Amino acid sequence: MGMTMTQKILARHAGLDHVVPGQLVEAKLDLVLGNDITAPVAITEFDKAGLTQVFDKDKIALVLDHSTPCKDIKSAQLCAQARAFAERFDITHFYDVGCMGVEHALLPEQGLTAPGECMIGADSHTCTYGAVGMFSTGVGSTDMAAGMATGLAWFKVPAAIKVTLKGKLQPYVSGKDVILHLIGTIGVDGALYKSLEFAGEGVGELSMDDRFTIANMAIEAGAKNGIFPVDDKTRAYLAGRVTRPWEAVEADPDAVYDQEVVIDLSTLQPTVALPHLPSNTRTIDQVEGTPIQQVVIGSCTNGRLDDLRQAAAVLKGRKVAKGVRCIVLPATQQITLDAMAEGLIQIFIEAGCAVSTPTCGPCLGGHMGVLSDNERAISTTNRNFVGRMGPVSSEIILANPAVAAASAVAGCVADPRKL
Amino acid sequence: MKVYKYGDNVDTDVIIPARYLNAPDEKSLASHCMEDIDAAFASTVETGDIIVAGSNFGCGSSREHAPLAIKACGVKCVIAPSFARIFYRNAINIGLPIMESAEAAAAIQAGDTVSVDFATGVITDETQGKTWQAAPFPDFVDGIIQAGGLLNSLKARGVAK
């Protein structure tokens, strides 16, 4: 029986020739990630267990991105705890305010993720890095503590769903629409305990930023990870970022999949997810005119340069509607610089947007854009659960950056093709 | 012990909203547990109570604060047809008992008196006079539970120092 990309990577990191779905393996880790919310809990457990060594100070990444720049005293104390740990163990990849970005945009940009590698992160969107053809998955803080101490993690080898992409996306349709369409098709637990293995000629039509967006939301279908094959676009992205040797994996021709989903990219429309589940999807024509009070453009899902370009193309020469607050959060310092060089930041500010330093803040209702009672936001983030961005009466509609920008201009959910 | 019953896809944002993640101590987490889905939960839950829910319990954020909050409330066990995979790992790693049984999760009603036997995996609804067998844990996972959590098991093996 052949293996999927995910199964091959897990086998290689477990020192095995072959693995099968359901098998429990202990795999060597190339990277362990934590942030300012999850790392402090991991550090407390690490200390409580009496551990005194990390497995490799070069293979741990700590990114203070969630409540930063610190929103309150308690958050500042958690950051201080992470900072002290990084100093104590001389952690190489420690990112504090000024150099940090939203972790899942930052790590690939810094060359910390490469094809064929295996990593865990104490953040559910760690699955983002499947875009570069590696196995990466979200875990909790205790797994992170164990990973930091041992460089090991246990995994149940996942069965797989093959997602075959064909055709080419239309203008104003992007990676966000692909993944929302998929989640709407299979449901929020449609890939529970499984990997999403992307394949097909349509992959080559997707930008790297689209692939990051798609892999990022694999968790919203319940998946353990989402993974893309490596092609010329991947290699071009990695050039100049990843200097260590890496080895891509390909799925065996006889790999076994529980299910296959075929998506013709050319047929996809701008797609949104209505409250309160990412699977509650509608095409844009079904929801146009729904009033909104806030727009968020950013996050680990859609805070990359391509995303900002798509939003700016819509906002250029236009104004954010009266009564709407539009917050734009470039996901890293480099993305901010690139957006400045291209004039995007000026477009946003002239349109009446607030442009923020990188932070996860509003996505999880932390800071920099919390909603009030009965308010509704359209957001390029990844979750629209009850109370995610504010009180339980507030609502979130998930959308791509062009739709979010068009909605900011219209003051209601809007189709960017009709502005 | 009494049962709290919830639907499908109970996410970790409603188990412990992000606005409380800046205080990850047990007392604080317990005082806000389930706040956005059941405002009365934290003030009425008693040690030994049981949560019964629908499929994909604990989906969303990886925050270990969610099982920590439930455990800190004194909840004895969560019973559901399926758990989101990160929540499943976290519960095992921190020692919050979880049991997978679609039949039990469907039949048990809020307010029923339910007992669980972790050694045998038998769930008994004393109010209805019914029993169910939960799916057993794999040996490897059972080893983590028996060792008292992941870090203890790794220390016992000598791989964590």
Structure tokens at A264: 């013709």
DSSP assignment of A323-357:
T-EEEEE-SSHHHHHHHHHTTHHHHHHHHT-EE--
Min Cα–Cα distance to chain A from B59, Å: 7
- Range B42-62 average pLDDT: 97
Contacts of B61 in chain A (CB under 8 A): 123-124, 364, 383
Give the 3-state secondary structure of residue B11. strand
Contacts of B149 in chain A (CB under 8 A): 142
Contacts of A67 in chain B (CB under 8 A): 21-22
Both A193 and A332 in a single domain?
A: no
- Asked if residue B1 has pLDDT above 80, the reply is no
- Pick from A186, A370, A184, A196: which is nearest to A277 by CA? A184
User: In which band, very low, low, confident or very high, does the pLDDT at B31 lie, cut at 50, 70 and 90?
Assistant: very high
pLDDT at B136: 83
> B90 and A146 in contact by Cβ < 8 A?
no
Contacts of B81 in chain A (CB under 8 A): none
pLDDT at B141: 86
Rounded Cα distance, A336 and A304, in Å = 9
- Range B38-60 average pLDDT: 97
**B11, part of any domain:** yes
Rounded Cα distance, A346 and A340, in Å = 7
pLDDT at B143: 87
Contacts of A124 in chain B (CB under 8 A): 60-62, 86
State which of A264, A281, A312 marks the end of a domain: A264
Both A254 and A276 in a single domain?
A: no
- The dihedral through the CA atoms of B26, B13, A302, A330 has a sign that is negative
Is residue A334 packed enough to be buried (19+ CB in 10 Å), middle (13-18) or exposed (0-12)? middle
- Pick from A112, A262, A125, A275: which is nearest to A185 by CA? A262
Degrees (nearest 5) of the Cα angle A92, A12, A239?
A: 50
**Domains held by chain B: number:** 1
Q: How far is CA A85 from CA A51, A64, A120, A233, A361, in A?
A: 12, 12, 19, 37, 23
Q: How far is CA A369 from CA A186, A302, A388, B38, in A?
A: 31, 16, 12, 25
Contact status of B141 with chain A (Cβ, < 8 Å) = yes
Rounded Cα distance, A70 and A130, in Å = 30
> A72 and B22 in contact by Cβ < 8 A?
yes
Give the 3-state secondary structure of residue A5. helix
- Asked if residue B142 has pLDDT above 90, the reply is no
CA–centroid distance for A104 within its chain = 6
pLDDT at B161: 85
Structure tokens at B100: 């997978």
What is the CATH number for A285? Answer: 3.30.499.10
Lowest mean pLDDT: which of A258-272, B54-68, B139-153?
B139-153
Residue in A closest to B25 by C-alpha? A41
One-letter identity of residue A53: Q
Of B11, B23, B93, the CB nearest to A140: B93
The contacts of residue A93 (CB under 8 Å, 6+ apart) are A58, A60, A61, A62, A110, A112
Contact status of B145 with chain A (Cβ, < 8 Å) = no
Of A72, A146, A154, the CB nearest to B140: A154
Rounded Cα distance, B102 and B110, in Å = 16
**B144, part of any domain:** no
Check residue A281 and report its DSSP letter.
E
**B58, part of any domain:** yes
B85: left (phi over 0), alpha (psi -120 to 50) or beta: alpha
Both A63 and A171 in a single domain?
A: yes
Structure tokens at A94: 């420690």
Residue-range definition of the domain harbouring residue B86: 3-134
pLDDT by residue for chain A (419 residues), tens digit each?
Answer: 899 999 999 999 999 999 999 999 999 999 999 999 999 999 999 999 999 999 999 999 999 999 999 999 999 999 999 999 999 999 999 999 999 999 999 999 999 999 999 999 999 999 999 999 999 999 999 999 999 999 999 999 999 999 999 999 999 999 999 999 999 999 999 999 999 999 999 999 999 999 999 999 999 999 999 999 999 999 999 999 999 999 999 999 999 999 999 999 999 999 999 999 999 999 999 999 999 999 999 999 999 999 999 999 999 999 999 999 999 999 999 999 999 999 999 999 999 999 999 999 999 999 999 999 999 999 999 999 999 999 999 999 999 999 999 999 999 999 999 99
Rounded Cα distance, A29 and A50, in Å = 22
Both A103 and A202 in a single domain?
A: yes
Min Cα–Cα distance to chain A from B51, Å: 19
Say what the alpha-carbon torsion angle A413, A104, B144, A54 is, to the nearest 10 degrees. Answer: -160
pLDDT at B12: 97
Rounded Cα distance, A290 and A286, in Å = 10
Residue A354 has a CB neighbour count (10 Å cut-off) of 14
Rounded Cα distance, A214 and A183, in Å = 10
Contacts of B152 in chain A (CB under 8 A): 49
> B90 and A123 in contact by Cβ < 8 A?
no
Contacts of A50 in chain B (CB under 8 A): 155
Both A401 and A364 in a single domain?
A: yes
- Pick from A395, A272, A383, A381: which is nearest to A331 by CA? A381
Both A205 and A290 in a single domain?
A: no
Both A89 and A9 in a single domain?
A: yes
Is residue A236 packed enough to be buried (19+ CB in 10 Å), middle (13-18) or exposed (0-12)? exposed
Min Cα–Cα distance to chain B from A414, Å: 27
Q: How far is CA B138 from CA A22, A236, B82, B132, B150, in A?
A: 10, 43, 15, 19, 15
A138: left (phi over 0), alpha (psi -120 to 50) or beta: beta
Rounded Cα distance, A416 and A295, in Å = 14
DSSP assignment of A130-181:
GGGT-EEEE--HHHHHHHHHHSEEEEEPP-EEEEEEES-PPTT--HHHHHHH
Give the 3-state secondary structure of residue B77. strand
> B86 and A366 in contact by Cβ < 8 A?
no
Q: How far apart are the first and last CA of chain A?
A: 52
> B160 and A49 in contact by Cβ < 8 A?
yes
**Domains held by chain A: number:** 2
Residue in A closest to B56 by C-alpha? A189
Rounded Cα distance, A237 and A215, in Å = 16
Work out whether strand A152-156 and strand B122-125 pair parallel, antiparallel, or are unpaired: unpaired
**B76, part of any domain:** yes
Residue A166 has a CB neighbour count (10 Å cut-off) of 16
Check residue A320 and report its DSSP letter.
P
Rounded Cα distance, A361 and A381, in Å = 11
Both A197 and A56 in a single domain?
A: yes
Both A399 and A279 in a single domain?
A: yes
Give ipTM to 2 decimals: 0.96
pLDDT at B160: 86
Contact status of B42 with chain A (Cβ, < 8 Å) = no
> B94 and A41 in contact by Cβ < 8 A?
no
What is the CATH number for B95? Answer: 3.20.19.10
State which of A201, A234, A264 marks the end of a domain: A264
Rounded Cα distance, B36 and B32, in Å = 9
DSSP assignment of B125-141:
ETTTTEEEEPPPPPHHH
Contact status of B14 with chain A (Cβ, < 8 Å) = yes
Both A193 and A315 in a single domain?
A: no
> B14 and A385 in contact by Cβ < 8 A?
yes
**B92, part of any domain:** yes
Contact at 8 Å (CB) between B12 and B64?
Answer: no
One-letter identity of residue A111: G
> A38 and B63 in contact by Cβ < 8 A?
yes
- Pick from B59, B96, B56, B81: which is nearest to B135 by CA? B81
Residue-range definition of the domain harbouring residue A344: 271-418
Among B85, B92, B98, B141, most A C-beta atoms within 10 A, so best to mutate, is B85
**B141, part of any domain:** no
pLDDT at A214: 98
Contacts of A138 in chain B (CB under 8 A): 62, 86
Q: How far apart are the first and last CA of chain B?
A: 40
User: In which band, very low, low, confident or very high, does the pLDDT at B139 lie, cut at 50, 70 and 90?
Assistant: confident
Rounded Cα distance, A39 and A45, in Å = 10
pLDDT at A1: 86
